């Protein structure tokens, strides 16, 4: 039985690429139309894992996905970074001068705004998924439309690459989380994702951050999200990294004294960017 991975998007999407990069090729990817649907697949036991984008080096954090992490309480068992290279894809034989419409995911469009501004006559349409837009061109044989998507999508859907590497910033990377319904023990874990709330007093958050600093635990990310229905209250999501397990354990013991609703969302092995 192949491991089943729920992904947002269709075959050849960046989520599928991330799944292959983390798990290898011998997996079954389950196409989902939304991130919420991927979570439902995992909750119902139809998928073994979810691969979920959480931040992009250009577009920033994907905030709705933090809400899903809070609501579903899955365990983060790993992470993977993917360098995102965007290309302009069209049917074989179509020329740049034939293009009237360009379709892609809103974030992909934003990543290519410099290239697109050079073609102000094109009508830009937002789609649900980069690879999905490529698939649509193939299925509907659209000769006046191009998609912004990855090289993998061109290969899978038999499209030609009209223009390569059209992203504005060539250091464009997305970080994906690997989510599981079960706690998966990670030997050699050196990174954790935590969530908590603090009091409203002066320096409440600073006191928490100081606990990590004192124990030589590096804070690699902090994200705040409003607590639904409660004014001036926030959930804080932090990623921390450590070299010595004892330092991390001591930091957690200290942090517990300064926080409420503290949760370890996952302890896993840090994935170095490629």
Domain spanning 3-83+173-180 has what CATH number?
A: 3.40.190.10
* CATH match for 87-163 among 3.40.367.20, 3.40.1590.10, 3.40.190.10, 3.90.1150.180: 3.40.190.10
Domain spanning 191-268 has what CATH number?
A: 3.30.70.260
Cβ-Cβ contacts under 8 Å for 153 (sequence gap 6 or more): 12, 13, 89, 130, 131, 134, 135, 147, 159
Q: Tell me whether domains 3-83+173-180 and 87-163 share a fold.
A: yes
pLDDT of residue 231: 81
pLDDT of residue 185: 83
pLDDT of residue 14: 95
pLDDT of residue 273: 61
pLDDT of residue 233: 86
pTM for the model: 0.92
pLDDT of residue 274: 56
pLDDT of residue 192: 98
- Return the DSSP state at 257: G
> Please, is 212 exposed, middle or buried when counting C-beta atoms within 10 Å of its C-beta (0-12, 13-18, 19+)?
buried
Per the CB < 8 A criterion, the answer to whether 146 and 108 are in contact is no
* Mean pLDDT, contiguous 10-residue spans, the chain (274 residues): 96 96 97 97 98 91 94 97 96 97 94 96 95 97 98 97 96 95 90 94 92 97 90 92 97 96 96 71
Per the CB < 8 A criterion, the answer to whether 190 and 243 are in contact is yes
φ, ψ at 78 (rounded to 5°): 180, 175
pLDDT of residue 141: 98
Going from N- to C-terminal start, the domains of the chain cover 3-83+173-180, 87-163, 191-268
């Amino acid at each position: 039985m192949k491991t089943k991975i729920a992904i947002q998007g269709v075959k050849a999407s960046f989520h599928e690429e991330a799944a292959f990069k983390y798990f290898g090729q011998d997996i079954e990817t389950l196409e989902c139309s939304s991130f919420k649907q991927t979570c439902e697949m995992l909750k119902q036991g139809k998928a073994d894992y979810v691969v979920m984008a959480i931040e992009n080096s250009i577009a920033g954090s994907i905030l709705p996905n933090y809400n899903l992490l809070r609501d579903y309480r899955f365990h983060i068992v790993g992470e993977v970074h993917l360098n995102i290279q965007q290309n302009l894809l069209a049917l074989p034989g179509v020329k740049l001068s034939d293009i009237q419409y360009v379709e892609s995911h809103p974030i992909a469009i934003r990543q290519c705004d410099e290239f697109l501004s050079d073609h102000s006559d094109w009508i830009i349409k937002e789609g649900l998924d980069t690879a999905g837009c490529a698939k649509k061109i193939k299925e509907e044989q659209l000769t006046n439309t191009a998609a912004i998507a990855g090289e993998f999508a061109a290969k899978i859907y038999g499209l030609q690459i009209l223009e390569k590497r059209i992203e504005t910033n060539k250091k464009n990377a997305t970080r994906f989380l690997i989510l599981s319904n079960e706690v998966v023990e990670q030997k050699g874990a050196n990174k954790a994702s935590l969530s908590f709330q603090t009091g409203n007093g002066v320096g409440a958050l600073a006191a928490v951050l100081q606990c990590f600093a004192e124990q030589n635990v590096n804070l690699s990310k902090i994200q705040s999200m409003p607590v639904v229905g409660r004014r001036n209250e926030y959930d804080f999501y932090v990623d921390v990294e450590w070299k010595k397990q004892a330092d991390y354990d001591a930091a957690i013991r200290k942090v517990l004294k300064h926080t409420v609703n503290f949760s370890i969302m996952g302890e896993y092995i840090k994935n170095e960017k490629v």
